[in-house]
Amino acid sequence: MLHRFLADMMEHTDFNWAEQMNCAVTVCDAGGVIVYMNERSRATFGDGLVGTNLFPCHSAASQEKIRRMLATGESNAYTISKNGVRKMIYQTPWRRDGQIAGMVEISMVIPEEMPHYVR
């Protein structure tokens, strides 16, 4: 599955939109193996993680949330503060042929105060 995903990514140049985004994009397969990290993700978490499993990097509670997302298709969103930097984390399953194939995590720096609009 990992090789198919990487081959698909290389074939479809339209996936390159994520590489230089101003946020970290990390993608894993349904087993938790990291299959893609964009430039910001690699700068944040380190090079050499593609092909490794993300579960050992997470607490038991986080592992359970990830497993639940992969099983149910639900998404997860929250904010964090780390070293004086606020971030929004959005995690959601991705699908291939209608079946959950893994999870995408997008981590972006957000300002201390943000406007909120009701539309």
CA dist 21 and 39 (Å) reads 8
pLDDT at 15: 61
Q: How confident is the model at residue 16 (pLDDT cuts 50, 70, 90)?
A: confident
Instruction: Give the distance from CA 106 to its chain's centroid.
Output: 5
Instruction: Give the distance from CA 67 to its chain's centroid.
Output: 14
Sheet holding 85-96, edge to edge: 34-37, 24-29, 99-110, 85-96, 76-82
Task: Tell me which amino acid residue 24 is.
Answer: A
Taking only the tens place, the pLDDT of each residue in 70-97 is: 999 999 999 999 899 999 999 999 999 9
Phi, psi of 28 (to 5 degrees): -125, 165
pLDDT at 115: 93
Q: Where are the alpha helices (DSSP H) in the chain?
A: 2-11, 39-45, 60-72
Model-level pTM? Answer: 0.84
Taking only the tens place, the pLDDT of each residue in 39-58 is: 999 999 999 999 999 999 99
Share of the chain above pLDDT 90, in %: 77
pLDDT at 11: 54
Q: How confident is the model at residue 1 (pLDDT cuts 50, 70, 90)?
A: low
What token pair was written down for 86?
């606020």
DSSP state of 97: T
Query: 């999870």: which residue's tokens?
Result: 103
